[in-house]
Amino acid sequence: MIKSYKARRIIANTLIYIILAVMCLIWISPFVYLLLHSFRGEGGNVTVNYLIPKTYTLQNYINLFSGAGGDASINFPRWFLNTFVVACFSCVISTISVLAVSYSLSRLRFGARKKLMNVGMILGMFPGFMTMIAMYYLLDAMGLTRTLVALVICYSCGAGLGFQISKGFFDTIPRALDEAATIDGANKNQIFWKIILPMSKPIVVYTVLTAFIGPWTDFILAKIIMGDVRENYTVAIGLQAMTTPEFIQGYYKQYLAGSVCVAVPITILFLRMQKYYVEGVTAGGVKG
């Protein structure tokens, strides 16, 4: 009986591992193709009948950042800088906003607290694209369309609505620390910056990562706001422009190289901060 049970368990685990391996291969194959062909040296800009390139070169990356290709409107270094600036400013503003709102709802008690939390959760259920047209016309009325400032405003102004995870984390921090600090003469602002935040590294890292990734990878909102002003494009819009019929033949390999470059900062952030990211998510889900 014991041998039969062990045999069935081994067979079941083997089947599970085979299925997972096949799924992993299917999932990772586009990324492997993207990485390999971003270094492809031979011609055949778009379609090739082989998976592994025959020759490799760094020229695709050199052309990407040097602007080689024959069209001045394709300016990847400018797009990369635009995206980095927007993502950094949005990240800082959004992180401060989310943590401040989360701390206030976790520690302070005021009349409209429950109602504000319910309204925030309800608004969070609506998809963001429902407000994009309205935001465009509001920005147009203020003369901010087709500017990087408009992107920062759109990405960061509503960030406080994403308070749920951070509030759950702050709820796990004992209130006795606040009370002890209050007895020592600290006010709420000092408690937040000098006591709570230094103890909240996991949720701070989680908030920073999510606040940075959104602007870095967004396409739809950036495309609506920027229109056809290519010097203010972000990398997502710029890479999409490289795939249009006008540029695809001459810029396909540069497009692949650009896609790899876009993924590098996010990958490095996750590899360096993965431990704190997981801790922030799990701790933030303990309380509502």
Report if residue 185 sits inside a domain: yes
Q: Which of 21-25, 80-84, 264-268, 269-273 has the lowest mean pLDDT?
A: 269-273
Higher pLDDT, 222 or 128: 222
Last residue of a domain, one of 46, 66, 86: 66
- Let me know whether 175 and 280 are in one domain: yes
Q: Is the dihedral of CA 80, 127, 99, 204 positive or negative?
A: negative
Give the pLDDT score at 22. 94
Report if residue 96 sits inside a domain: yes
Give the pLDDT score at 288. 45
Q: Six-digit token pair at 264?
A: 């590098």
Report if residue 181 sits inside a domain: yes
Q: Which residues of 261-280 are buried (b: 16+ CB within 10 A; e: fewer)?
A: bbeebeeebeeebeebbebb
- Let me know whether 25 and 121 are in one domain: no
Q: Tell me, what amino acid is at 218?
A: D
User: What are the distances in angstroms from CA 216 to CA 59, 200, 207, 212, 262?
Assistant: 25, 24, 14, 6, 8
- Let me know whether 41 and 183 are in one domain: no
* Rounded Cα–Cα distance for residues 45 and 71 (Å): 16
- Let me know whether 57 and 137 are in one domain: no
- Let me know whether 88 and 160 are in one domain: yes
Structural domain for 11, as ranges: 2-66
- With tokens 């940075």, the residue in question is 212
Q: Six-digit token pair at 5?
A: 């049970």
- Let me know whether 174 and 222 are in one domain: yes
Q: Six-digit token pair at 79?
A: 């797009």
Report if residue 71 sits inside a domain: no
Last residue of a domain, one of 18, 45, 66: 66
- Let me know whether 160 and 48 are in one domain: no
Rounded to an integer, the average pLDDT of 18-25 is 93
Report if residue 161 sits inside a domain: yes
* Rounded Cα–Cα distance for residues 262 and 207 (Å): 20
Domain count, the chain: 2
- The reported pTM is 0.83
The 10s digit of each residue's pLDDT in 43-77 is 766 777 778 888 888 888 988 888 766 666 788 99
- Let me know whether 41 and 6 are in one domain: yes
Query: 3-class SS at 175?
Result: helix
- Let me know whether 104 and 52 are in one domain: no
Give yes or no for residue 204 having a pLDDT over 90. Answer: no
- Let me know whether 56 and 135 are in one domain: no
**Long-range contacts formed by 185-189: CB under 8 A, 24+ apart:** 188/107, 188/108
- Let me know whether 137 and 262 are in one domain: yes
- Let me know whether 183 and 278 are in one domain: yes
Q: Is the dihedral of CA 113, 115, 116, 121 positive or negative?
A: positive
Q: Six-digit token pair at 161?
A: 């609505």
Q: Tell me, what amino acid is at 249?
A: Q
Average pLDDT in the chain: 84
Report if residue 97 sits inside a domain: yes
* Rounded Cα–Cα distance for residues 150 and 135 (Å): 9
How many residues appear in the chain? 288
Report if residue 187 sits inside a domain: yes
